[in-house]
Amino acid sequence: MCQKAPCVSVCPTKASYYNEDGVVLIDADKCVGCKYCMTACPYDARFLNKETGAADKCTFCYELKVSKGEKPACVSTCVGGALMFGDLNDPLSEASQFLAKHKGEVRKPELGTHPNVYYIYEGVVK
């Protein structure tokens, strides 16, 4: 989920958009399947859904979970507790507090997309 998402800016039909919570979503009814967004995404996060014919991607379970105050399914089911989800605009959220204490890295920061997915490598044996 980028704060400056190239998938949104290249979409010719505005099928890719930011919702009221700043989440990048896809309106399948507006998508014409041109794949511009798939080419523009530097994280290879999108694919063409063969059932709908529209672009698709992870939504952090926005509609099914997050909009109801629940965590994404991957976070709530991860047996290792390796995933965390939260509002980084809220300094009191678990994610904000954790990131304040650990060094988090984003992928390809030089591209200026400002992704909101951070990787914490501390304590990981490489």
Binding site for ligand SF4 (CB under 6 A): 1-2, 5-7, 10-11, 13, 15-16, 24, 26, 31-37, 41, 43, 45-46, 54-55, 57, 113, 115
Burial 20-49 (b: 16+ CB within 10 A, else e): eeebbbbeeeebeeeebbbebbebebbeee
Which residue's CB is nearer to ligand SF4, number 103 or number 114?
114
- Closest contact distance (angstroms) between CB of 77 and ligand SF4 is 22
- Closest contact distance (angstroms) between CB of 22 and ligand SF4 is 10
- Closest contact distance (angstroms) between CB of 90 and ligand SF4 is 20
Which residue's CB is nearer to ligand SF4, number 15 or number 75?
15
Which residue's CB is nearer to ligand SF4, number 6 or number 72?
6
Which residue's CB is nearer to ligand SF4, number 22 or number 97?
22
Q: Which amino acid is at 40?
A: A
- Closest contact distance (angstroms) between CB of 67 and ligand SF4 is 18
